[in-house]
């Protein structure tokens, strides 16, 4: 994994300042979604070789939850974005 | 002077003789010698014994690739094995020992191992010593292990400090030979920030091996460089990692006779370079000929270095066998120095002669096609192997260049080989190539540079690679070594090939070629060439084995850095730490926290004695427990109630202002994540607590919920753990005592169980929050005061209670009290239990539309009848004990996985009950009350018959919580000494570290009001609190968040605020070494471009979380949470010792 991660708020920092949670792809199902949807959300994960999006938290810095898009084979980091900021701007665009 | 030391010349200082011992014998060398050169000068040609066959060996090289001359240096905690004598700079009083010999280097009984060589060949441990089978483990292996091997490590603790450092640069140049020097000078002249790292004592590399006048002078070249070139001598780049971050090991005080006590032994650098050039040069290849390991046989370049740099002649009459210019250059320099050259044999790869080194114990000559050449030293050169290891550490595979006769590194972005590292030869060609590589690297960064040296042709065509030589007759029967350090011969490789292990990776594992401490530096290419030859392939068709970091050995001390002993990890202290310490508390580590475990009274010798007394005092009168370590989070915002209702499984939205509720947080899979209390301070403001252990993870989880799952909710949260000194006052007298200092009405009518109030103490003198919660089952309160007020408040409570009325109690008594009440901790909440398993199933409000874990709870398995559920256990024999970890079995069953009924999670001897009481998770346990079982403790070897009971051992109705008790006592007059205690009251002050001008000055900023301000929702991107807008310091606390020191009269419109006074402590750091001290712990960029004056960041410094602000060119401010402040202060002083400094206390 990358040695440095460029936090959108703090700039490039050593990976040790960050903690990883896992795959960012699964979306939390609706509360009353079918059990299958919930089981997939809880337990089923891809383990891709290549591009992958993950949730990371900059716990040693701003504390924000980020999506790190990276390549699991080459370790290249494509982008690092703030999850909440992205969701809110998407919601704003949706309204407009 | 000895016969081997030249009377003049070299880069040694004959005016500075240095005495040293080798194997107890005294010798003398000169400043500028290595141990190897000084021993060679003294006529000591045998400097080590080989790994397996104990063959006498002398230095093969004169540098870091050395496989033979490994010694142990130092004594006591500084004893270090396997040091290369060829790189160990001589120092006065150096104590060195040879290795792997018994009883002495000259007479080594282990050399008899050579007689058993046929038994010790390739893969011997798979084939020989097999019978009788038990002998392997008991007899053969211990014998072989003792006979084989390298030096032995010391066992005493290492007394030295080790440092770390981050650096960021435009260009990292690896190696300061001609190519590296030219590259560094070219780039530095163009204005780039350049770091030049070189393993040598002084920069120059191969230039230092030339006779004066044969090449440019490195010191003169560097003298002209500007301040943007940083030269790191004695620094080996050992690893190339993602994002062009390099690991570099700098030797500072290590292996010096009298190391400066304030300097670290080694410094581990991590250098983030935008571009890097690999100018590491090349290793000369030994000739694969019989007898090539005889002392006196060495590489031509090594002899040249010893001759020209150290003024040591290899012998009186030197023979040379070479396939390129290296041997001829040596012969020329030998003759110039007046040393006789017997003959230079130029080897033709197309028509290889029969070739062998002759001699026993020392080389006596060489046989070439049956002709004997007498000599007492033999130089060999089989061509050069570029040092491409770093460039191939991230997956790139080396390729064979027939043109260069060498393996080269493919093009890799970020790291470009130049000079000899890409196969060039000749000083001028390398100077020109280094300069051109720097121009190209800088152009990729958008910088223009002029080459400091012009392109130049090579001094000769690259020599073709040589294959193994054969010699006829007796000379041909001598061993041909390929890997000198691991004693792997050509015959071993041939056997590996014959037995089907001819693939280079397989041969490496079968023969151990390339697995020694040099990781195949001397042997890798020769092994690949030999294997290709043995398999009938062309040179290069057998690949090199995979290259991985580290390129050179790295000590564990350097990797650990400052994280050892007292600074192994950051330590957090509660506001009442010194208060408890003064009362004799024994502390226990809980994560990073130190918590009082018990307070021994006079005459008490066992922790249980103390804890039992403390627990009884709580139930009889009252006790005071420091619960400041519990995680505390303040949650605000219009949607705070709705948010917490989704985060906790029980009802939160229905909590009234001024009330608290016990609450369970689940994971999405339905398991319990953590428990705590939620107090509602205002309609849109909550104060929630977590357990000590889960404070960090619980906040991260809540932030995840807010930012990722429900990004649209208006909710902001922050940890206020450090802000409050939190004291539990528990026992029948709790209200009476508290009431004497708290201004609020504490009558049960005004302040019932689960009430919460923001109040004050002593008529408004101290702000406070009061919570009526109970963990012990007694009437109990938690009192929170701003951290600085903790000690004064605790003193006042003790005074209010009168002598013996209030007993401080620690974590052990707390555990006794909570087990008696069946309250759970993370011993029970172990990640596999649901609320129902804990008997708290009714807390999960399935009727709520959504909460974390709601869907997961519906999984059928979570309702299975045989789930482990919480119950109590008491021994049938009232005198027996049950220990945590014991397994529960049905009576008469033998212990087995199948028979396992569960296990004991917590156990104590209950002071209230007078016998053992334990909590256990047992299959269907809650429904088996009254059953007899056995608590089987496999570790203690005991089986204790026990009965399953309710987990609530004491007062199941909760009557004690609300039992009538004395009303508040008369108000206590404010004590004369009622004052806050500064966080750094006990900090060490005065001069520290290196003497002389202080590089650092540490100061403590006065404590005062601190407010955390959150931007209005949707306006996080704006900066309503830009530093200039307010007269007080404003620091970045995350996007849309600021820490305001000095208070804030008005909250900006739409913004939210949380008072955090006392939660943060500011430390001033000033001085010329301030940035270096910061770079010792943080990887954030600190240069003025990335970090201008007035800016502030959040980062970690050696695992300490902190905020960092730049106040001036060399002035910084560190803000750290209060519990970490004292430890950080001490860590800063420890890491700052190398610079020297002054610490000024509060």
Domain ranges of chain B: 13-110, 163-282+386-444, 286-382+463-473, 479-554, 990-1143
Q: Is the ipTM of this complex over 0.95?
A: yes
Q: Are B958 and B907 in contact (CB under 8 A)?
A: no
Residue ranges of E strands in B466-507: 481-483, 488-489
Residue B1123 belongs to what H/E stretch? helix B1122-1135
Q: Are B90 and B33 in contact (CB under 8 A)?
A: yes
User: How big is the A-B interface in CB pairs under 8 Å?
Assistant: 111
Nearest-Å Rg of the Cα atoms of chain A is 15
How confident is the model at residue B668, as a pLDDT?
96
Residue with the bigger pLDDT between B50 and B598: it is B598
Residue B1122: closest CA among B599, B697, B720, B661: B720
The minimum CA-CA distance between B942 and chain A, rounded to whole Å, is 40
Decide if B858 and A35 are in contact by the 8 Å CB cutoff.
yes
How confident is the model at residue B979, as a pLDDT?
94
Residue of A nearest to B1037 (CA): A62
As given in the structure block, the two tokens for residue B552 are 């050179």
As given in the structure block, the two tokens for residue B168 are 């960021």
For B764-798, what is each residue's pLDDT tens digit?
Answer: 999 999 999 999 999 999 999 999 999 999 999 99
* Tally: H helices and E strands in chain A: 2, 6
Indicate if the pLDDT at residue A76 is higher than 80: yes
How confident is the model at residue B104, as a pLDDT?
74
What would you measure as the largest C-alpha separation in chain B, in angstroms? 114
Indicate if the pLDDT at residue B980 is higher than 80: yes
Decide if B706 and A84 are in contact by the 8 Å CB cutoff.
yes
Decide if A83 and B859 are in contact by the 8 Å CB cutoff.
no
As given in the structure block, the two tokens for residue B385 are 């192997």
Q: pLDDT band at residue B126, thresholds of 50, 70 and 90?
A: low
**If you average pLDDT over every residue of chain B, what do you get?**
93
Q: What is the DSSP annotation of B102-140?
A: SB-SSSBGGGGGGGGGGGGSTTHHHHSS-SSTHHIIIII
How confident is the model at residue B310, as a pLDDT?
97
Of B392-396, B468-472, B798-802, B873-877, the one with minimum mean pLDDT is B468-472
The minimum CA-CA distance between A83 and chain B, rounded to whole Å, is 6
Decide if A11 and B850 are in contact by the 8 Å CB cutoff.
no
B381 DSSP β-pair partners: B322
**Chain B residue numbers touching A31 (CB-CB < 8 A):** 849-850, 854-855
The minimum CA-CA distance between B246 and chain A, rounded to whole Å, is 10
B761 DSSP β-pair partners: B742, B766
Decide if A65 and B1083 are in contact by the 8 Å CB cutoff.
no
How confident is the model at residue B187, as a pLDDT?
98
Q: Phi first, then psi: what are they for B137, rounded to 5°?
A: -70, -35
* A65 → closest Cβ in B703, B858, B1037: B703
How confident is the model at residue B1027, as a pLDDT?
45
Residue with the bigger pLDDT between B872 and B1145: it is B872
| B479-554 classified as CATH 1.10.10 | yes
The minimum CA-CA distance between B672 and chain A, rounded to whole Å, is 15
Q: Are B173 and B421 in contact (CB under 8 A)?
A: no
- Could you tell me the fold of the domain covering B286-382+463-473? FAD/NAD(P)-binding domain (3.50.50)
Decide if A63 and B703 are in contact by the 8 Å CB cutoff.
yes
Indicate if the pLDDT at residue B463 is higher than 90: no
Indicate if the pLDDT at residue B614 is higher than 70: yes
Long-range contact pairs involving A69-72 (C-beta distance under 8 Å, separation at least 24): A70/A1, A70/A2, A72/A48
As given in the structure block, the two tokens for residue B776 are 């012990």
Percent of chain B at pLDDT exceeding 90: 83
Q: What average pLDDT does range B142-146 have in this prediction?
A: 67
**Chain A residue numbers touching B713 (CB-CB < 8 A):** none
The minimum CA-CA distance between A37 and chain B, rounded to whole Å, is 10
The minimum CA-CA distance between B445 and chain A, rounded to whole Å, is 17
As given in the structure block, the two tokens for residue B313 are 């002649």
Burial of B44 (0-12, 13-18, 19+ CB in 10 A): buried
Q: Are B304 and B329 in contact (CB under 8 A)?
A: yes
Q: What is the DSSP annotation of B808-861?
A: E--HHHHHHHHHHHT---TTT-SSS--TGGGT-GGGS-TTSS--TTHHHHT-GG
Angle of the B524-534 helix axis to the B490-498 helix axis, nearest 10: 50
- Strand pairing of B384-386 and B282-284? antiparallel
Question: Considering the domain A4-25+33-95 in this protein, what is its CATH number?
Answer: 3.30.2270.10
Q: pLDDT band at residue B233, thresholds of 50, 70 and 90?
A: very high
**Chain A residue numbers touching B649 (CB-CB < 8 A):** none
Long-range contact pairs involving B511-516 (C-beta distance under 8 Å, separation at least 24): B511/B122, B511/B123, B511/B483, B511/B486, B512/B483, B512/B486, B512/B488, B513/B482, B513/B483, B513/B486, B513/B488, B514/B483, B514/B486, B514/B545, B515/B486, B516/B51, B516/B67, B516/B483, B516/B485, B516/B486
**Chain B residue numbers touching A21 (CB-CB < 8 A):** 704
Q: Which of B164, B166, B243 to mutate to test the interface with A (most CBs of A within 10 A)?
A: B243
Each domain of chain A, given as residue ranges in start order, spans 4-25+33-95
Q: What is the DSSP annotation of B502-552?
A: -SHHHHHHHH-TT-STTTTTTTHHHHHHHHHHHTTPPTTSSPPPPP-S-SS
The minimum CA-CA distance between A39 and chain B, rounded to whole Å, is 8
Residue of B nearest to A73 (CA): B395
Q: Are B675 and B662 in contact (CB under 8 A)?
A: yes
Residue with the bigger pLDDT between B131 and B473: it is B473
Q: Phi first, then psi: what are they for B26, rounded to 5°?
A: -80, 140
Cis peptide before B103 (omega within 30 of 0): yes
- Strand pairing of B593-598 and B586-590? antiparallel
Buried-state track B586-609, b at ≥16 Cβ within 10 A, e below 16: bbeeeebbbbbbbbbeeebeebee
Residue of B nearest to A91 (CA): B712
**Chain A residue numbers touching B1037 (CB-CB < 8 A):** 62
Domains B163-282+386-444 and B286-382+463-473 in one fold: yes
Decide if B1097 and A35 are in contact by the 8 Å CB cutoff.
no
Residue B1076 belongs to what H/E stretch? helix B1074-1079
Q: What is the DSSP annotation of B571-612?
A: -EE-TTHHHHHHTTPEEEEETTEEEEEE-PPTT--SHHHHHH
CA B307 to chain centre: 42
Distance CA B36, CA B48 (A): 11
As given in the structure block, the two tokens for residue B794 are 């605790």
Q: Which CATH superfamily is domain B990-1143 in?
A: Probable tRNA modification gtpase trme; domain 1 (3.30.1360.120)
Residue of B nearest to A28 (CA): B709
**Chain A residue numbers touching B1039 (CB-CB < 8 A):** 9, 62, 64, 82, 85
* Residues whose CB falls within 8 Å of the CB of residue B895, separated by 6 or more in sequence, listed in order: B887, B889, B936, B938
Distance CA B1065, CA B1076 (A): 22
How many alpha carbons lie under 13 Å from residue B380 in its C-beta half-sphere? 27
How confident is the model at residue B1050, as a pLDDT?
76
Buried-state track B481-512, b at ≥16 Cβ within 10 A, e below 16: bbbbbbbbbbebbbbbbeeebbbbebbbbbbb
Distance CA B632, CA B605 (A): 35
Indicate if the pLDDT at residue B84 is higher than 80: yes
Residue with the bigger pLDDT between B752 and B138: it is B752
Indicate if the pLDDT at residue B217 is higher than 70: yes
| B163-282+386-444 classified as CATH 3.60.20.10 | no
Q: Which of B1084, B1096, B1110, B1119 to mutate to test the interface with A (most CBs of A within 10 A)?
A: B1084
Distance CA A83, CA B282 (A): 49
Q: pLDDT band at residue B52, thresholds of 50, 70 and 90?
A: confident
The minimum CA-CA distance between B724 and chain A, rounded to whole Å, is 21
Distance CA B177, CA B305 (A): 14
Residue of A nearest to B1019 (CA): A85
Residue B1067: closest CA among B1122, B1003, B1130: B1003
Residue of B nearest to A8 (CA): B1039
Indicate if the pLDDT at residue B193 is higher than 50: yes
How confident is the model at residue B1, as a pLDDT?
45
Decide if B166 and A14 are in contact by the 8 Å CB cutoff.
yes
Q: What average pLDDT does range B184-209 have in this prediction?
A: 97
**Chain A residue numbers touching B1018 (CB-CB < 8 A):** 88
How confident is the model at residue B116, as a pLDDT?
64
Q: Are B688 and B701 in contact (CB under 8 A)?
A: no
How confident is the model at residue B125, as a pLDDT?
63
Decide if A11 and B272 are in contact by the 8 Å CB cutoff.
no
The minimum CA-CA distance between B702 and chain A, rounded to whole Å, is 11
Q: Phi first, then psi: what are they for B545, rounded to 5°?
A: -75, 160
Indicate if the pLDDT at residue B1058 is higher than 60: yes
How confident is the model at residue B1028, as a pLDDT?
45
Indicate if the pLDDT at residue B1024 is higher than 60: no
* Residues whose CB falls within 8 Å of the CB of residue B563, separated by 6 or more in sequence, listed in order: B569, B1102, B1103
**Chain A residue numbers touching B856 (CB-CB < 8 A):** 38, 42
| B13-110 classified as CATH 3.40.1190.20 | no
Residue B41: closest CA among B26, B23, B28, B57: B28
Indicate if the pLDDT at residue B112 is higher than 50: yes
């Amino acid at each position: 994994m990358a040695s440095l991660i460029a936090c959108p708020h703090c700039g490039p920092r050593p990976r040790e300042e960050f903690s990883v949670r896992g795959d960012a792809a699964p979306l939390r199902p609706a509360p009353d979604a079918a059990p299958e949807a919930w089981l997939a959300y809880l337990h089923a994960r891809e383990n891709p070789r290549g591009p992958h999006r993950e949730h990371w938290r900059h716990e040693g810095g701003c504390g924000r939850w980020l999506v790190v898009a990276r390549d699991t084979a080459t370790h290249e980091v494509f982008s690092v974005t703030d999850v909440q900021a992205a969701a809110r701007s998407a919601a704003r665009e949706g309204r407009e | 002077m000895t016969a081997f030391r030249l009377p003049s010349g070299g880069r040694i200082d004959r005016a500075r003789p240095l005495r040293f011992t080798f194997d107890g014998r005294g010798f003398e060398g000169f400043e500028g010698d290595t141990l190897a050169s000084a021993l060679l000068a003294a006529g000591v040609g045998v400097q080590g014994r080989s790994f397996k066959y104990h063959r006498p060996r002398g230095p093969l090289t004169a540098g870091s690739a050395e496989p033979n001359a490994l010694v142990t240096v130092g004594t006591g905690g500084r004893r270090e094995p396997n040091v290369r004598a060829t790189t160990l700079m001589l120092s006065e009083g150096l104590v060195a020992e040879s290795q792997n010999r018994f009883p002495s280097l000259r007479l080594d009984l282990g050399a008899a191992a050579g007689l058993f060589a046929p038994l010790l060949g390739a893969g011997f441990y798979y084939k020989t010593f097999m019978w009788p089978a038990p002998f392997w483990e008991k007899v053969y292996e211990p014998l072989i292990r003792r006979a084989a091997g390298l030096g032995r490590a010391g066992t005493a603790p290492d007394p030295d400090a080790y440092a770390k450092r981050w650096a960021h640069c435009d260009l990292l140049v690896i190696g300061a030979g001609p190519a590296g020097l030219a590259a560094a000078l070219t780039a530095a002249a163009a204005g780039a920030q350049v770091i030049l790292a070189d393993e040598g004592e002084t920069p120059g590399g191969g230039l230092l091996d030339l006779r004066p006048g044969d090449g440019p002078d490195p010191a003169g070249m560097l003298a002209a460089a500007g301040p943007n070139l940083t030269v790191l001598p004695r620094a080996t780049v050992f690893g190339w990692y993602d994002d062009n971050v390099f690991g570099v090991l700098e030797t500072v005080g290590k292996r010096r006779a009298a190391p400066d006590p304030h300097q670290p032994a080694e410094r581990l650098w991590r250098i983030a370079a935008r571009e890097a050039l690999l100018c590491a040069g090349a290793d000369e290849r030994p000739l694969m000929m019989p007898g090539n390991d005889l002392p006196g046989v060495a590489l031509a370049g090594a002899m040249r270095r010893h001759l020209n740099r150290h003024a040591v002649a290899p012998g009186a009459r030197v023979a040379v066998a070479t396939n390129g210019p290296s041997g001829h250059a040596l012969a020329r320099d030998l003759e110039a120095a007046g040393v006789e050259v017997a003959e230079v044999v130029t080897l033709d790869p197309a028509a290889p002669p029969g070739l062998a080194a002759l001699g026993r114990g020392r080389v006596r000559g060489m046989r070439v096609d049956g002709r004997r050449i007498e000599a007492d030293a033999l130089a060999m050169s089989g061509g050069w192997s570029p040092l491409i290891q770093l460039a191939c550490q991230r997956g790139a595979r080396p390729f064979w260049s027939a043109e260069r006769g060498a393996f080269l590194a493919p093009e890799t972005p970020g790291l470009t080989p130049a000079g000899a590292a890409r196969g060039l030869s000749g000083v001028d060609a390398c100077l020109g190539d280094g300069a051109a590589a720097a121009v190209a690297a800088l152009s990729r960064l958008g910088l223009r540079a002029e080459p400091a040296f012009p392109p130049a042709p090579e001094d000769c065509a690259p020599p073709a690679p040589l294959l193994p030589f054969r010699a006829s007759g007796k000379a041909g029967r001598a061993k041909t070594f390929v890997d000198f350090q691991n004693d792997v011969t050509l015959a071993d490789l041939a056997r590996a090939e014959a037995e089907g292990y001819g693939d280079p990776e397989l041969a490496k594992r079968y023969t151990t070629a390339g697995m020694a401490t040099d990781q195949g530096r001397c042997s890798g290419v020769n092994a690949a060439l030999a294997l290709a030859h043995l398999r009938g392939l062309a040179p290069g068709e057998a690949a090199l084995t995979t290259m991985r970091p580290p390129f050179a050995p790295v000590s564990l001390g350097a990797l650990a850095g400052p994280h050892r002993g007292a600074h192994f990890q950051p330590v957090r202290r509660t506001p009442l730490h010194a208060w408890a310490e003064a009362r004799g508390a024994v502390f226990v580590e809980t994560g990073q926290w130190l918590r009082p475990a018990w307070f021994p009274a006079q005459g008490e010798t066992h922790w249980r004695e103390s804890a039992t007394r403390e627990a009884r005092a709580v139930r009889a009168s009252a006790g005071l427990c420091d619960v400041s370590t519990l995680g505390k989070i303040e949650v605000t915002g219009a949607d705070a109630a709705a948010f917490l209702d989704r985060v906790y499984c029980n009802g939160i939205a229905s909590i009234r202002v001024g009330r608290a509720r016990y609450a369970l947080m689940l994971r999405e899979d339905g398991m319990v994540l953590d428990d705590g209390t939620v107090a509602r301070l205002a309609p849109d403001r909550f104060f929630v607590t977590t357990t000590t252990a889960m404070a960090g993870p619980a906040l991260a989880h809540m932030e995840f919920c807010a930012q990722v799952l429900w990004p649209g909710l208006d909710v902001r949260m922050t940890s206020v753990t450090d802000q409050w000194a939190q004291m539990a006052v528990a026992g029948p007298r709790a209200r009476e005592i508290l009431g004497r200092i708290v201004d609020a009405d504490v009558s049960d009518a005004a302040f019932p169980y689960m009430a919460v109030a923001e109040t004050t103490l002593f008529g408004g003198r101290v702000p406070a929050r009061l919570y009526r919660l109970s963990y012990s089952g007694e009437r109990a309160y938690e009192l929170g005061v701003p951290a600085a007020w903790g000690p004064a408040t605790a003193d006042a409570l003790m005074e209010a209670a009168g002598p013996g009325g209030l007993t401080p109690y620690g974590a052990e008594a707390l555990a006794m009290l909570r087990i008696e009440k069946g309250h759970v901790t993370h011993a029970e909440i172990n990640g596999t239990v649901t609320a129902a398993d804990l008997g708290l199933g009714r807390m999960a409000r399935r009727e709520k539309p959504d909460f974390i874990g709601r869907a997961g709870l519906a999984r059928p398995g979570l309702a299975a009848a045989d789930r482990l559920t919480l119950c109590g256990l008491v021994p049938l024999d009232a005198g027996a004990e049950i220990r945590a970890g014991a397994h529960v079995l049905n009576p008469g069953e033998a212990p087995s996985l199948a028979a396992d009924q569960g296990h004991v999670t917590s156990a104590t001897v209950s002071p209230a009950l007078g016998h053992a009481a334990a909590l256990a998770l047992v299959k269907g346990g809650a429904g088996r009350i009254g059953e007899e079982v056995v608590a089987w403790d496999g570790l203690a070897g005991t089986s204790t018959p026990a009965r399953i009971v309710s987990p609530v051992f004491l007062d199941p109705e909760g009557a004690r919580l609300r039992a009538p008790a004395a009303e508040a006592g008369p108000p206590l007059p404010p004590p004369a000494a009622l004052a806050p205690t500064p966080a750094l009251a006990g900090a060490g002050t005065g001069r520290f570290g290196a003497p002389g001008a202080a590089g650092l000055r540490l100061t403590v900023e006065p404590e005062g009001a601190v407010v955390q301000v959150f931007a209005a929702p949707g306006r996080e991107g704006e900066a309503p609190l830009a530093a200039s807008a307010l007269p007080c310091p404003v620091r970045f606390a995350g996007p849309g968040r600021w820490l305001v020191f000095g208070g804030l009269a008005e909250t900006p419109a739409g913004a939210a605020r949380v008072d955090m006074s006392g939660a943060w402590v500011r430390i001033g750091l000033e001085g010329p070494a301030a940035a270096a001290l910061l770079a010792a712990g943080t990887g954030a960029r600190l240069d003025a471009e990335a970090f201008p004056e007035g800016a502030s960041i959040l980062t970690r410094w050696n695992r300490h979380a902190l905020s960092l602000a730049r106040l001036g060119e060399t002035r910084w401010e560190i803000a750290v949470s209060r519990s970490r402040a004292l430890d950080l202060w001490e860590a800063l002083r420890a890491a700052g010792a190398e610079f020297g400094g002054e610490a000024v206390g509060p």
